[in-house]
C-alpha cells in the first residue's frame, strides 16, 4: 500500500539569471582559486609537508571571483549547525604524528526521533560529537547533551543509523579509534541507550566505518565494521590527549603496522551479535577505508565492495552467506588509494555503476603549484598514470628506485591498481568497464562521495568532498553534474560550491598559519521538504558546509520512504526502478557509504519536465515484487512492503 504526504516542490529564492560556465572552463574546474604553495610529496595517511602562504589572496592572474548562479548557498551559520570538528592542536603539517584522522570524521543523516524530519549527526576526533535535530524547516537545534551521544572521551570516526531490531526507530553505531565502539539502542522518541556490552559489540581497535546490511537474507540487519591497522602507540600525547603514531615520522614503519581485520557481526535477533568474519570470509586485507553493499550479479544476495587505502579494493561475491574475492575477474584494476566508494545508476540503464575515488592520486603531482603551473596541475588531475609518480618519474631518475621500494613496501601489483579515480560502468550482469577519464571523473584530492539528482533533471549527479587542508593548503570540492549521457562536468564555481561565502580562508590559526576548511565527507538529504536535495559536509577546524539547494529548474520529482515487513524494516538492499518515457532509472536503498558518511535513505527520483511516471517497481530484499502505477508527482510516498502472498 502507499500513502502520500503533501510535500510539494518549493520555488527557489534566487532567479535563474546567471548561466553556468561551460564544462571544462577555468571557473568550472576551480582554476580561479588562490593557491600558492610548495608541496612535498604526499604519502599515505598524509605523511606530508605542506607549506602555505598566510596572506589572503585573489585568484591567480588577477581574475575576479565568479559570482555564483542558482544552485547552492552555504547556510550553515543561519541554520544553527554550529558544530566544530576539532583539529590536532599541535599538528603543524610538517610531520606525520599522533593521529590518523587528518583523514576526517563523518557525518550521518537519519530521523533519530521519528518526527518525520531528517536530523544530522557529526563525528569528532577532539571534543564532543554533535547531534542536531531538524525543526522541520531545514533549521536545527543542538540536542547532543540531551540525547547523550557526545562521546568526548574518544576519537569518533564514523556513525551509522539503522533500525537494527525492526521496532520502528533508528539505533546508532559509532566507530571509534582506540576508544572503543559504541552501540545505542533507540528506546523510542529519540531516547538512545548504550547497550554495547549487552550486544557483544565492545571491540576496541582502529575502527574506521560501519555499515548495516542483511548478508544472509533472514530479515535482520547484520553489521560490518572495517578497520585500518594497529599503527598507534599506547603513549598519550600530553598536549593533544591523543595516541602517538608508530614509526615517528617514518612512512615505511607506519605502513608496515600490524593489520587489523574487518569484522562481520551476525544479528542474532535477540539484541546480540556474533562475530562470523572468518566463517563468512570477510576479514579483508587491512587498511580499509569504505564499504559499498550491492547485488552486483543480481542473484539476490548482497555483495560487498571494500575500498582500501593502499592497493586494490576488494569485491566479494556473496554466495548464500559465504564471500569470495572476485575483484580481478569483475573490476580488474582499481584505485590504489581508494577512500570513498559509491554505487549508483549513472546512465539510466537500470544497472549499478561503481565509483572509487583515489585520495592518493596526488602522488604524481609536480613540486611546484604556483600560479603559473596551477592550470597544468588541474589539467593533469584529469588523467591516469601507470606509475606512482607519473610524469615526475620522467624528470627524476631517482624516483624510479623510490617507486620500486614503495611497490615492495606496499606489496601491491602494478597490474592490479590504477593511479587515479576509477569509475566502472556496468556493461552486463556482473561485468564492468573502467571509464573514469572518458566520463570526466578524474579529480584531485577526492575523499568522500555523495550522489543525488541535485537539479532534478532525471540524471544522478556527484558531489566530491576534496582537499588537503593540512591544515593550510586549499583544494576545492567538486560538483560533478551529469550531462545526461553519463558524462560529468564540474560546476562547483558556477553553482555556488566553490569558493563558499566565507572565502578561501577563515580566521582560525594553527601554529600561526591560516587554517582553511577541508572537507572529508558529505551526505545528502532534502532537509526542508521542498523536493530538492541539500548537501552537508564535516570540515576540519570549522563549522560544516550546509549547501541549501536553490536550483530553480521547475523540474518534477517523486520520493519514496520504504518500510519493510518481511524484509528488514529499513528496506536496506531494496532496488527501485522508475519507468519514465523511454528511460528506466534505478535507485537502491543504502545503509551508508561514500566515505565516513550516511545520506538519507529516502529514495529520490528527479524527473525533468516529465509529468507522468509510467510505473515504479520495487524489488524488496525478501524477494517480493511490488508495482506502483502512475504515482503522484512532487510528493513523498510512504510505501509498506506487501504480504509474501503477493510475491
Band (pLDDT 50/70/90 cuts) for residue 475 is low
pLDDT at site 41? 32
**Cell of residue 319, nine digits:** 554466495
For range 114-143, the mean pLDDT: 95
Cα separation, 327 vs 311, whole angstroms:
12
If you search the block for the grid coordinates 595517511, which residue do you land on? 45
For range 114-138, the mean pLDDT: 95
In this structure, of 141-150, 346-355, 398-407, 585-594, the range with the lowest mean pLDDT score is: 398-407
If you search the block for the grid coordinates 520555488, which residue do you land on? 11
In this structure, of 203-212, 217-226, 427-436, 502-511, the range with the lowest mean pLDDT score is: 502-511
Cα separation, 194 vs 202, whole angstroms:
11
In this structure, of 136-150, 239-253, 360-374, the range with the lowest mean pLDDT score is: 360-374
CA 253 centroid distance within chain: 28
For range 474-492, the mean pLDDT: 90
pLDDT of 455 above 60: yes
Band (pLDDT 50/70/90 cuts) for residue 233 is confident
Band (pLDDT 50/70/90 cuts) for residue 139 is very high
Q: Are 601 and 570 in contact (CB under 8 A)?
A: yes
**294 or 507: whose pLDDT is higher?**
294
User: Phi/psi at 600 (nearest 5 deg)?
Assistant: -55, 140
Model confidence pLDDT, tens digit, residues 20-36: 333 333 233 233 222 22
**42 or 245: whose pLDDT is higher?**
245
For range 306-331, the mean pLDDT: 93
Band (pLDDT 50/70/90 cuts) for residue 374 is very low
pTM (two decimals) = 0.86
Band (pLDDT 50/70/90 cuts) for residue 283 is very high
pLDDT at site 388? 66
Average pLDDT, the chain: 81
Band (pLDDT 50/70/90 cuts) for residue 281 is very high
For range 156-172, the mean pLDDT: 97
For range 169-190, the mean pLDDT: 95
Band (pLDDT 50/70/90 cuts) for residue 479 is very high
If you search the block for the grid coordinates 515484487, which residue do you land on? 625
List, as one string, the DSSP characters of 589-603: --SS-SSSEE---SE
Model confidence pLDDT, tens digit, residues 491-550: 998 898 876 554 444 455 555 555 556 888 999 999 999 999 999 999 877 789 999 999
For range 42-63, the mean pLDDT: 31
Q: Are 501 and 545 in contact (CB under 8 A)?
A: no
Q: What is the β-pairing status of strands 334-335 and 417-418?
A: parallel
Band (pLDDT 50/70/90 cuts) for residue 88 is low
Model confidence pLDDT, tens digit, residues 541-575: 778 999 999 999 899 999 999 999 999 999 999 99
pLDDT at site 155? 86
What is the number of residues in the chain?
A: 647
pLDDT at site 386? 66
In this structure, of 84-93, 100-109, 198-207, 326-335, the range with the lowest mean pLDDT score is: 84-93
pLDDT of 96 above 80: no
pLDDT of 37 above 80: no
CA 462 centroid distance within chain: 10
pLDDT at site 16? 32
**Cell of residue 338, nine digits:** 581508494
What DSSP designation does 368 have? B
What angle is formed at CA 283 by the lines to CA 280 and CA 285, rounded to 5 degrees? 145
If you search the block for the grid coordinates 510516498, which residue do you land on? 637
For CA atoms 174, 534, 112, 574, give the dihedral sign.
negative
pLDDT at site 438? 94
Q: Kindly state the helix (H) or strand (E) to which residue 230 belongs, with its residue range.
A: strand 229-230
pLDDT at site 59? 34
Percent of the chain predicted with pLDDT > 70: 72
Q: What is the β-pairing status of strands 636-640 and 556-563?
A: parallel
In this structure, of 57-71, 376-390, 526-540, 620-634, the range with the lowest mean pLDDT score is: 57-71
What angle is formed at CA 419 by the lines to CA 416 and CA 420, rounded to 5 degrees? 125
Amino acid at each position: 500500500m502507499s500513502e502520500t504526504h503533501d510535500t510539494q516542490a518549493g520555488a527557489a529564492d534566487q532567479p535563474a539569471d546567471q548561466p553556468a560556465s561551460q564544462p571544462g572552463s577555468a571557473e568550472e574546474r576551480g582554476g580561479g582559486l588562490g593557491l600558492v604553495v610548495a608541496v612535498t610529496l604526499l604519502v599515505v595517511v598524509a605523511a606530508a609537508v605542506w607549506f602555505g602562504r598566510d596572506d589572503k589572496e585573489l585568484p591567480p592572474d588577477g581574475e575576479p571571483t565568479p559570482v555564483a548562479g542558482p544552485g547552492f548557498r552555504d547556510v550553515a551559520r543561519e541554520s544553527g549547525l554550529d558544530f566544530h570538528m576539532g583539529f590536532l592542536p599541535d599538528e603543524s603539517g610538517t610531520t606525520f604524528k599522533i593521529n590518523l584522522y587528518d583523514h576526517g570524521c563523518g557525518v550521518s543523516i537519519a530521523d533519530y526521533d521519528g518526527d518525520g524530519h531528517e536530523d544530522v549527526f557529526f563525528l569528532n576526533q577532539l571534543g564532543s560529537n554533535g547531534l542536531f535535530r531538524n525543526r522541520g524547516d531545514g533549521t536545527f537545534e543542538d540536542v547532543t547533551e540531551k540525547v547523550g551521544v557526545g562521546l568526548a572521551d574518544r576519537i569518533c570516526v564514523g556513525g551509522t543509523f539503522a533500525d537494527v531490531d525492526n521496532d520502528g526507530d533508528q539505533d546508532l553505531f559509532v566507530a571509534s579509534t582506540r576508544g572503543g565502539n559504541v552501540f545505542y539502542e533507540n528506546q523510542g522518541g529519540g531516547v538512545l541507550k548504550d547497550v554495547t556490552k549487552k550486544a557483544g559489540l565492545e571491540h576496541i581497535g582502529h575502527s574506521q566505518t560501519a555499515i548495516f546490511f542483511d548478508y544472509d537474507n533472514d530479515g535482520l540487519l547484520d553489521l560490518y565494521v572495517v578497520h585500518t591497522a594497529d599503527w598507534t602507540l599506547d603513549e598519550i600525547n600530553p598536549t593533544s590527549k591523543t595516541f602517538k603514531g608508530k614509526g615517528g615520522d617514518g612512512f615505511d614503519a607506519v605502513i608496515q603496522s600490524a593489520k587489523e581485520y574487518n569484522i562481520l557481526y551476525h544479528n542474532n535477533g535477540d539484541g546480540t551479535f556474533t562475530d562470523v568474519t572468518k566463517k563468512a570470509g570477510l576479514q579483508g586485507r587491512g587498511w580499509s577505508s569504505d564499504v559499498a553493499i550491492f547485488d552486483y550479479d543480481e542473484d539476490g544476495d548482497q555483495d560487498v565492495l571494500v575500498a582500501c587505502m593502499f592497493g586494490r579494493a576488494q569485491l566479494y561475491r556473496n554466495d548464500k552467506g559465504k564471500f569470495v574475492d572476485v575483484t580481478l575477474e569483475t573490476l580488474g584494476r582499481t584505485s590504489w588509494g581508494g577512500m570513498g566508494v559509491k554505487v549508483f545508476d549513472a546512465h539510466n540503464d537500470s544497472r549499478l555503476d561503481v565509483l572509487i575515488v583515489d585520495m592518493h592520486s596526488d602522488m604524481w603531482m609536480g613540486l611546484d603549484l604556483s600560479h603559473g603551473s596551477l592550470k597544468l596541475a588541474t589539467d593533469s588531475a584529469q588523467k591516469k598514470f601507470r606509475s606512482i609518480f607519473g610524469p615526475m618519474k620522467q624528470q627524476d631518475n631517482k624516483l624510479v628506485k623510490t617507486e620500486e621500494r614503495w611497490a615492495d613496501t606496499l606489496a601491491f601489483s602494478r597490474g592490479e591498481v590504477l593511479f587515479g579515480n576509477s569509475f566502472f560502468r556496468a556493461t552486463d550482469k556482473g561485468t564492468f568497464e573502467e571509464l573514469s577519464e572518458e566520463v570526466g571523473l578524474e579529480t584531485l584530492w577526492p575523499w568522500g562521495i555523495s550522489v543525488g539528482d541535485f537539479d532534478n533533471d532525471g540524471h544522478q549527479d556527484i558531489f566530491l568532498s576534496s582537499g588537503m587542508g593540512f591544515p593550510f593548503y586549499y583544494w576545492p570540492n567538486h560538483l560533478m553534474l551529469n550531462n545526461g549521457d553519463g558524462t560529468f562536468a564540474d560546476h562547483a564555481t558556477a553553482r555556488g560550491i566553490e569558493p563558499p561565502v566565507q572565502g578561501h580562508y577563515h580566521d582560525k590559526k594553527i601554529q600561526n598559519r591560516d587554517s582553511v576548511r577541508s572537507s572529508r565527507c558529505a551526505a545528502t538529504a532534502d532537509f526542508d521538504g521542498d523536493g530538492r536535495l541539500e548537501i552537508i559536509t564535516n570540515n576540519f577546524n570549522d563549522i560544516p558546509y550546509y549547501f541549501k539547494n536553490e536550483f530553480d529548474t521547475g523540474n518534477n520529482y517523486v520520493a519514496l520512504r520504504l518500510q519493510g515487513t518481511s524484509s528488514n524494516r529499513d528496506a536496506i538492499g531494496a532496488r527501485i526502478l522508475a519507468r519514465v518515457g523511454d528511460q528506466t532509472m534505478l535507485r537502491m536503498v543504502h545503509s551508508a557509504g561514500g566515505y565516513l558518511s550516511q545520506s538519507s535513505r529516502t529514495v529520490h527520483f528527479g524527473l525533468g519536465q516529465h509529468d507522468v511516471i509510467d510505473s515504479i517497481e520495487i524489488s524488496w530484499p525478501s524477494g517480493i515484487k511490488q508495482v506502483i502505477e502512475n504515482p503522484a508527482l512532487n510528493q513523498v510516498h510512504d510505501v509498506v512492503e506487501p504480504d509474501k502472498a503477493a510475491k
